[in-house]
Chains A and B, each alone.
Chain A
Amino acid sequence: MKYVDEFRDGDKARQIAELIQSEVRPDHQYRLMEFCGGHTHAIFRFGLVDLMPENIQFIHGPGCPVCVLPAGRIEAVIKLLENSDNLILCTYADLMRVPAGKRDSLHKAKARGADIRMIYSSTDALNIARNNPGQQVFFFAIGFETTTPPTAAAIKIAHHEKLKNFSVFCNHVETPPAMAHILSSGETQLDGILGPSHVSTIIGSHAYAECCKQYSTPFVIAGFEPLDILQSTLMLVRQINEGRFEVENQYCRAVKTDGNKKAQTLMSEIFEQRPLFEWRGLGELANSAIQIKNRFSDFDAEKRFAMEHIEVADIKGCICPAVLRGVSNPDECKLFGTVCTPEDPKGACMVSSEGACAAYYSYGRYRTEVEVVNS
């Protein structure tokens, strides 16, 4: 595939890795956070960890929307489904198996008879609403800035068509406040950040400038392919070695400084800042999420269905919150790979393919065992 295969060349990957090896200072530890689950996944899938010198450590960030969604938001939806008989829930597949309260999930709610449709696009949710005028169609919207514009477009179209049976449960969150929170908490020492690829196509590389400056931390916007990640790592190593902290853009084939203005305009037409929103692992963060503007409140599921706020505790032993803050690694969790697996996940980070636990389980769980056998 064009723009994919050429960024996965193994020989070139080894060459860039050699350059990194030759440029790192042996006396320095490089702690680099890849914010996105997409990066975590690629780092493990393509074995990039094994190409790195020992003093480069990838710290996994909270950039997995499914993982940071508090279980109470899913529980609230399940409650709503149980109390209504004409509701169709539309959701991206990622959310289906995320544990809600008491080991419940949307998947189990569907098995009990709830009308839940897995959709690929917000456009599908609109079509379901058009085709089922007698039923209420509830779109469970999640995602970072990458996924927000398609939700905004759906609301705008629904408003234009005066659809009476379509509403959106908005759980869209924003990346820069989460990054600022992690950098300001000081819980994890970080030397540099591999910045989001596709979030940045929308919000632009300049969105991180303040964060970079305030916390004197090097940023490189990195594409999701293995050569992109390796080149970005090299760019971070160079910034660190030279004592610079700037926002550099490795993914310039898709990311502009100002991002996608048309998408930004659409988002600001439909959404406004939400004063406070809870993130799993990070807690309640001010101005870190968005909500539907009053003008479009007819399409706001939270208002239409007066949805309640539910607190759900994570299951005992699950360290997802610490993994999401970059404080712990998945294999430090007692449940990892035994009680908690992708087939029967107990924590959200094991559900989504972008979750750090799922990446460790799928590609990394035999790494340490192999070392033992060989020694």
Chain B
Amino acid sequence: MCLAIPAKIESLDALASTAIVNLNNIRKEVSTLLLDEVTVGDYVLVHVGYALERIDPVEAARTLAMFDDMQALGDTE
């Protein structure tokens, strides 16, 4: 039920609070009612036709860097 998929915003309709997102090359209209600020190019988590939250690219990169650090640590052992 709580599955939410990261999708990139391709266009916005501010008046209708909707966006067209690209989900692995499938385009779909979703509601952006739950978000204050979204811009084209943002990645959002899509759940039952709604964008729930923006994905923070900086935090995502930081998490991925932590995986690399763990790998480096594992290699030295």
Contacts and interface: CB of A to CB of B under 8 A. Distances in A.
Contacts of B73: 19
A143 B4 CA distance: 13
A12 B70 contact: yes
A262 B34 contact: yes
Nearest to A143: B1
Contact of A196 (B2, B34, B62, B63): B2
A201 interface: yes
A146 interface: yes
A120 B53 CA distance: 18
Contacts of B33: 153, 266
Interface residues of B, number: 40
Contact of A22 (B35, B36, B77): B77
Max chain A C-beta neighbours (<10 A), residue from B6, B33, B62: B33
A146 B63 contact: no
B70 A1 contact: no
Interface residues of A, number: 58
A6 B57 CA distance: 13
B60 to A, nearest CB: 4
Interface string A122-166: 111000000000000000001110110110010000000000000
Contact of A15 (B23, B63, B70): B70
Given A153-B31, A153-B34, A260-B52, A198 B2 contact: yes
Contact of B56 (A36, A63, A198, A254): A254
Contacts of B63: 228, 231, 250, 252-253
B59 to A, nearest CB: 4
B55 interface: yes
B6 A354 contact: no
Interface in B48-77: 48-50, 52-57, 59-60, 62-64, 66-68, 70-71, 73-75, 77
B4 A198 contact: yes
B14 interface: no
Contacts of A1: 6, 23-24
A345 B4 CA distance: 25
Given A2-B43, A263-B34, A352-B1, A201 B52 contact: yes
Nearest to A3: B6
A302 B49 CA distance: 25
A268 interface: no
Contact of A147 (B5, B8, B47, B66): B47
Contact of B55 (A38, A120, A253, A354): A253
Nearest to A199: B2
B15 interface: no
A129 to B, nearest CB: 15
Max chain A C-beta neighbours (<10 A), residue from B24, B34, B56, B62: B34
A224 B6 CA distance: 12
A143 B59 CA distance: 27
Contacts of A3: 6, 43, 55, 60
Given A1-B6, A144-B2, A147-B2, A123 B67 contact: no
Given A263-B34, A266-B34, A6 B64 contact: yes
Contacts of A224: 3
A252 B34 contact: no
8 contacts: A12-B67, A12-B70, A63-B2, A92-B1, A147-B47, A147-B48, A150-B49, A201-B4
Interface of A: 1-4, 6-7, 9, 11-12, 15-16, 18-19, 22, 36-38, 63-66, 92, 94, 120-124, 142-144, 146-147, 149-150, 153, 196-199, 201-202, 224, 227-228, 231, 234, 250, 252-255, 260, 262-263, 266, 352, 354
